[in-house]
Amino acid sequence: MCTASPPPPVNRKMKKRLLLFLLANFLIRGSIANSQVVTYEAVAAFPESDVFPWTRVGTFDATRALIDDCIMIDVDLGIWAPTPGGEQDFYRRSIPEFQGSPFFVQWRCRSTAPNSEIAGGGSFINSWGGASAYHFTITVDLVQFFRDSFLPILQFPIEANKAHTYRVECLTNAMYYVFIDGVLVDSGTQEGLFPNTSAKIIWGAQMWNAPSINTWDYVRYGVIPTEHSGDFNNNGTIDDTDLYYFVDCLLGPDYDAAGPGCKWADLNADGKADAADIQSFANAMTGA
Ligand SMILES: [Ca+2]
Ligand SMILES: [Ca+2]
Ligand SMILES: [Ca+2]
């Protein structure tokens, strides 16, 4: 578990014990790449060397490290002067294959950037293509969401010094939804259906006027998994790949359990993914 996340409280110990049964019997892997869901989990490789490599862009002088299943990106002034500006480290991918699908992108990260960096520093993630844009700037205690120059810029306070989970859903009925820690913070009508043929995702960190350390636990995107299916990557089977994400829903922060990103893991459809779903998931995995 990434240290960017809060430590699990005592009441998760039982879940953890039950899950150890599953974990002991199946290979756990990090990132996945198939036609339905793609993830970068920061387990064993930098994004440009992952199983489905991202294109690295930026100034290539930021200090990076993989620590406890997270990628830490330390941006400062580097060789650049004067500010605003400095080190940049971004990862980019085109996603035309998701055109016409109910789509999600979800990430968990934290930044030490002071909120004055909301002007252009801290952590960034940006999904765009054609008329649609979803741009997030993340600082230590403030998040900015920008969607279009004709729409107001939204800002949301966040609890400082902890990782938060962010999620955007773009549905085929043209609605979009934005969640922070499982709570809906904005929704509306897409300007153009997203993803489209020119859709991209870019994420990473940069310095604007102040240095920061930006810690990313994961970036996941793709077709929204079917609710209560146990099948995170929508490939029709429930196996060790789904298990990795199932564990994350059950052991992750509490908001995950009842949040939109874990509806697929709620096998008994009682509104939350928890220990009561483990037996059904185990049965599905083992074909029992
Ligand atoms: Ca991770
Ligand atoms: Ca699956
Ligand atoms: Ca449940």
13 phi, psi to nearest 5 deg: -60, -35
Tens digit of each residue's pLDDT (9 = 90 or more) over 34-68:
669 999 999 989 999 999 999 999 999 999 999 99
Measured in angstroms, how far is the CA atom of residue 43 from the centroid of ligand 1?
6
Torsion on CA atoms 57, 62, 65, 70, rounded to nearest 10? -60
- Neighbouring C-beta atoms of residue 139, cutoff 10 Å: 27
Query: Could you tell me if 135 and 128 are in contact, meaning their C-beta atoms sit under 8 angstroms apart?
Result: yes
Query: Could you tell me if 119 and 108 are in contact, meaning their C-beta atoms sit under 8 angstroms apart?
Result: no
Question: Rounded CA gap, 168 and 187, in Å?
Answer: 9
Q: Which residues surround ligand 1, an ion (CB under 5 A)?
A: 2, 41-42, 69, 217-218
* Nearest ligand, CA 233: 2
Q: Which residues contact 262 (CB under 8 A, 6 or more apart)?
A: 249, 256, 272, 273
Please report the pLDDT score of residue 2 as a whole number.
59
Measured in angstroms, how far is the CA atom of residue 235 from the centroid of ligand 2?
5
pLDDT lower than 70: segments of the chain: 1-30, 33-35, 253-256
* Nearest ligand, CA 267: 3
Q: Which of 234, 263, 231 is nearest to 244 (CA)?
A: 231
Query: Could you tell me if 272 and 264 are in contact, meaning their C-beta atoms sit under 8 angstroms apart?
Result: no
Please report the pLDDT score of residue 14 as a whole number.
56
CATH topology for the 31-224 domain: Jelly Rolls (2.60.120)
Measured in angstroms, how far is the CA atom of residue 50 from the centroid of ligand 1?
12
Q: Which residues contact 287 (CB under 8 A, 6 or more apart)?
A: none
Q: Which residues surround ligand 3, an ion (CB under 5 A)?
A: 266, 268, 270, 277
Please report the pLDDT score of residue 257 as a whole number.
72
Measured in angstroms, how far is the CA atom of residue 117 from the centroid of ligand 2?
39
Supply angle C-alpha 249, 155, 196, rounded to 5.
65
Supply angle C-alpha 137, 138, 140, rounded to 5.
150
Helix (H, G, I), strand (E, B) or coil at 153: coil
* Nearest ligand, CA 249: 3
Amino acid letter for position 8: P
Domain regions of the chain by residue span: 31-224
Measured in angstroms, how far is the CA atom of residue 237 from the centroid of ligand 2?
5
Measured in angstroms, how far is the CA atom of residue 17 from the centroid of ligand 2?
23
- Token digits of residue 146: 């920008």
Measured in angstroms, how far is the CA atom of residue 1 from the centroid of ligand 1?
7
Beta strand segments in 112-244, E: 122-129, 132-138, 142-146, 154-157, 164-170, 175-180, 183-189, 200-206, 212-223
Please report the pLDDT score of residue 8 as a whole number.
47
Measured in angstroms, how far is the CA atom of residue 89 from the centroid of ligand 2?
32
Please report the pLDDT score of residue 4 as a whole number.
52
> Which residues on adjacent β-strands are paired with residue 93?
201
Measured in angstroms, how far is the CA atom of residue 261 from the centroid of ligand 3?
13
Please report the pLDDT score of residue 128 as a whole number.
86
